[in-house]
Amino acid sequence: MPETASPQPDHAPTKGDKKAAPPKPATTKPDDDVVGKAYDGRIMRRLAGYLAPYKLQTGVSAAAILLKAFTDIAGPFLLAVTIDTYLAPEAGKQHWLTHFLSRTPLTGVTEIALLYLAALSITFGLEFVQTYLMQWTGQKIMFDLRSQIFRHIQRMHIAFFDRNPVGRLVTRVTSDVDALNDMFTSGVLAIFEDICSLSFIIVVMLSMSWPLALLTISVIPGIAYATHLFRKHVRDSYRRQRAATAKINSFTQEYVSGMSVVQLFNREKRAFRDFSAVNLENKEAWTDAIFAYALYYPVVEFLASIAIALVIWRGGIAVLGATQHTWLSHHLYVTASGASAYSLFGNIVTLGTLIAFIRYAQRFFYPIQDLSDKFNILQAAMAAAERIFKLIDTVPDIPAPAKIIPGDHSGRIEFRNVWFTYQQLTTDQEAALQQIRRENASSQIRHSERSAAESKNPEAAHLTSTAQTLSTSNPNTQQPTTNNSPADHPLLRDIEWILRGVSFTIEPDHTAAIVGHTGAGKTTITALMMRFYDVQSGTVLVDGVDVREQDVHALRLRFGIVLQDSFLFTGTIAKNIRLGTESITDEQVERAAEEVNVADYIRSLPEGFNTPVIERGATLSTGQKQLISFARALAHRPGILILDEATSSVDTETELRVESALARMITGRTSVLIAHRLSTVQRADTILVMHKGQLREQGSHQQLLAHRGLYYKLYQLQYKDQELAALTATGSPATA
């Protein structure tokens, strides 16, 4: 796990207590492989909740679909009426609409044409209403869902982003939400439309000639089998497409963010090969799906053509009155012209009926093909919804307190026997830690009772105070504690503890410097202060209150932080300093820039404080971004200031600018400095020396040098050359 707790978007630590692993192709997590059912009632009920605010629009769309399905069947029926009434009239065969039409053929045909035009107009109008309302509703749902996902992601703890690649989260907000939009706009209601169309067509065909209707649907078993094979093949292809898309997103985000490293080490060819492998997976998945579609639709068309051919064959025979096919008929009718017309179980098959039936048979197979396609949309939406709801249902590891206790705004920071690890603990390990916490709480209660008893005995209290003074006067030791150590428990011995029983206090308006080798736990300490993570054992107090009992938003408002790798957002310099806090005026922005000696540079730019900043501030130097970050921290007037290696990556001129402003920055507030530069460390009121997760020494610069412990060794290795160089430049004698 990275030591740094800086909220970088890609969460690839560039400076921390652990060496970052080299970039590798993104791997697919199980949630990318979720296939999903074609219909999941539990998920569908939950998705229906997003439709609730727009139930009026949805209801109107459903009604429009129902009416449209009814008007769609009017065309072939009107064609049959035209043929049977005016073009090729048959004796004994009258449609109900004939009674409302003119007996004059020319007038009657004109009336039917007007009716057909009216039906088409109504169909087009209903289709417009349905399409517009559902597309509008789909966009509203996408807006609501994306807002909910992004809001939830913002509430997640930092450890969540350590475990989840940014590319996967981007896929949830983009591709998965798009899949749900397809379901709402082209899925559920389209399936409803296809079912309505099929139902109306079947009813009309059965009423016209149910034997011909049976001939039409006789190919349905073959289509059903072909659809089953198609869905099975496309289901696997879609699963691989979604997994490959997530890989591409993660891989592209990672390598684009680290493009400078890729180019520096000439890894372009290797990166391209890795990307080509991921891209090939996506291409192959789509190729397989294309093959399935290319095979499925011709098969359905072929079977539909067979059904239509059967209708033409048997229906044509019935119209012509072929006596050898008497199995189709129980009655023989004689027309006015003397020609015979065989009925199909009592219903006369006229030319108009046959032509209309062929038209209905052609339309009958369109919804079937569409249903197969909509099945895949529905299945993809179910899988996307399952992944989205899995993200939304993820509970942050940083729970809100049941009762919020505000701090006293004193700026006091205290660590009490803090144990912390980035590892995910098992249930048994959590139970063991809870037992240790209970035992430690009981020990603290006994200690408090003993202290209360000693307060009644002045002599005993004086002896206790003297012993505590002697123990804390030695900078090489921490105050003794009677707490049980998690490292002594059998289930907790193998855990890689980042902090081990760390206890210290930083008084209000004091400056503390934290030093130590990489991996000692320096940045973790600052992350725990702001409650980016919760400790496994012990207590972290800020402003006199446990951070777990404070409102997280209010707690973090108390802090201002400047990291070694400054992050700037797309916008302007002023917006990056203000960072969305509208209460910060333009005058305060400029004053903060003045205090860190960057205002002159900003004003020299063509647009001053309104100069555009592109992503990550790529057009600015490291020093310029760092100074803007200093101004950002000061503009928010924090009660506690954290500088995490804030001057280690700047040039000499920038460092001089920062050094001259640093004294003003730390005045009047509690400050925590993580630094390797002696000039920064020396000005601290107290220095915390970390080593392998433990606080080994604590004291001022001169005290720690006099003790000749771990800090003295660090001074000899890292700081002495810096001090000698500074003294030589100033001509002052060495004092160390």
- Per-residue pLDDT of 435-459, as tens digits, reads 877 776 677 666 666 666 666 665 5
Amino acid 610: pLDDT: 87
Give the whole-angstrom CA distance, residue 375 versus residue 183: 10
- The SS3 call for residue 427 is helix
pLDDT at 273 over 60: yes
Give the whole-angstrom CA distance, residue 29 versus residue 394: 15
pLDDT at 32 over 80: no
- The SS3 call for residue 407 is coil
Q: Beta strand 670-674 with 511-516: parallel, antiparallel or unpaired?
A: parallel
Q: Tell me the two tokens of residue 619.
A: 């057009």
Give the whole-angstrom CA distance, residue 608 versus residue 41: 57
Q: Beta strand 670-674 with 640-644: parallel, antiparallel or unpaired?
A: parallel
Q: Tell me the two tokens of residue 329.
A: 């008929």
- The SS3 call for residue 257 is helix
Give the whole-angstrom CA distance, residue 13 versus residue 17: 9
pLDDT at 78 over 50: yes
Q: What is the pLDDT of residues 335-349, one digit of tens each?
A: 444 444 444 444 567
* Residue 542 pLDDT grade (very low, low, confident, very high; cuts 50, 70, 90): very high
pLDDT at 11 over 80: no
* Residue 728 pLDDT grade (very low, low, confident, very high; cuts 50, 70, 90): low
The residues near 300 (Cβ < 8 Å, ≥ 6 apart) are 223, 226, 227, 365, 368, 369, 372
Residue 436 in contact with residue 493, Cβ under 8 Å?
no
Give the whole-angstrom CA distance, residue 698 versus residue 474: 8
Amino acid 64: pLDDT: 92
pLDDT at 471 over 60: no
Question: For the chain, what percent of residues have pLDDT higher than 70?
Answer: 78
Give the mean model confidence (pLDDT) for residues 15-27: 39
- The SS3 call for residue 670 is strand
pLDDT at 86 over 80: yes
Residue 514 in contact with residue 520, Cβ under 8 Å?
no
Q: Which residue has the higher pLDDT, 2 or 75?
A: 75
Amino acid 12: pLDDT: 38
* Residue 145 pLDDT grade (very low, low, confident, very high; cuts 50, 70, 90): very high
* β-bridge mates for residue 415, sequence order: 504, 540
Q: How many CA atoms lie within 13 A of 425 on its CB side?
A: 24
Closest-CA residue to 235 (of 372, 43, 369, 376): 376
Give the mean model confidence (pLDDT) for residues 129-134: 90
pTM for the full predicted model: 0.69
Handedness of CA 348, 351, 357, 360 (dihedral sign): negative
* Residue pointed to by tokens 């009604």: 63
Give the whole-angstrom CA distance, residue 239 versus residue 231: 12
| Mean model confidence pLDDT for the chain | 78
* Residue 525 pLDDT grade (very low, low, confident, very high; cuts 50, 70, 90): very high
* Residue 118 pLDDT grade (very low, low, confident, very high; cuts 50, 70, 90): very high
* β-bridge mates for residue 60, sequence order: none
pLDDT at 601 over 80: yes
DSSP line for 373-386? HHHHHHHHHHHHHH
Alpha helices in 549-650 (DSSP H): 552-557, 573-578, 586-595, 599-604, 622-635
* β-bridge mates for residue 499, sequence order: 420
Give the mean model confidence (pLDDT) for residues 15-32: 42
R_g (Cα) of the chain, nearest Å: 39
Closest-CA residue to 162 (of 16, 32, 33): 16
Give the mean model confidence (pLDDT) for residues 715-734: 59
pLDDT at 478 over 60: no
Q: What is the pLDDT of residues 633-678, one digit of tens each?
A: 888 888 898 988 766 656 666 667 667 667 777 777 898 988 766 6
607 secondary structure, DSSP code: T
Amino acid 346: pLDDT: 44
* Residue 322 pLDDT grade (very low, low, confident, very high; cuts 50, 70, 90): very low
Question: For the chain, what percent of residues have pLDDT higher than 90?
Answer: 13
pLDDT at 382 over 60: yes
* Residue pointed to by tokens 């504690």: 481
Q: What is the pLDDT of residues 660-671, one digit of tens each?
A: 667 777 777 898
* β-bridge mates for residue 697, sequence order: 689
Three-class SS of 207-274: HHHHHHHHHHHCCHHHHHHHHHHHHHHHHHHHHHHHHHHHHHHHHHHHHHHCHHHHHHCCCHHHHHHH
From residue 24, alpha-carbon distances to 262, 275, 353 in Å are: 12, 10, 67
The least confident of 102-116, 418-432, 493-507 is 418-432
* β-bridge mates for residue 416, sequence order: 539
Q: Return the exposure string of 558-583: e unless at least 16 CB atoms fall within 10 Å of the residue's CB, then b.
A: bbbbbbbbbebeeebbbbbbbeeeee
